[in-house]
Structure 1
Amino acid sequence: MVDSLRRILKSFFLDAENVQLLTAYVELLGAIVALILLFFQ
């Protein structure tokens, strides 16, 4: 599982535009997780 994630990350980091896209996805996931944590507190 971790190896496949690393492979995906490496392929993303080959392209600067994909890095920006990945950063946007990470921020979106972070916001979703924060909302979920707020709901379950």
Structure 2
Amino acid sequence: MEVHVMRSGVPTGYGRSNKTLVKAPFLLIICAAVSFGSYSASR
């Protein structure tokens, strides 16, 4: 696989599985925070 540099500056070729494990829960937390914020704001 080619090495792509993300916005954070860390190449994706370095620990691909590790990056996925870190990225998935991070996105879930962001989605949960956004949905919770919009839910509390709509009430």
* Cα RMSD, aligned residues only: 2.2
Which consecutive residues of structure 1, in runs of 5 or more, have no partner in the other structure? 1-5
Larger radius of gyration: 2
What TM-score, normalized to structure 2? 0.60
With a CA cutoff of 8 Å and minimum separation of 6, indicate the structure with the bigger relative contact order.
2
Which consecutive residues of structure 2, in runs of 5 or more, have no partner in the other structure? none
Question: Identity percentage over the alignment?
Answer: 6
Which one has a larger percent helix, Structure 1 or Structure 2? 1
User: Structure 1 residue runs of 4+, over 6 Å off?
Assistant: none
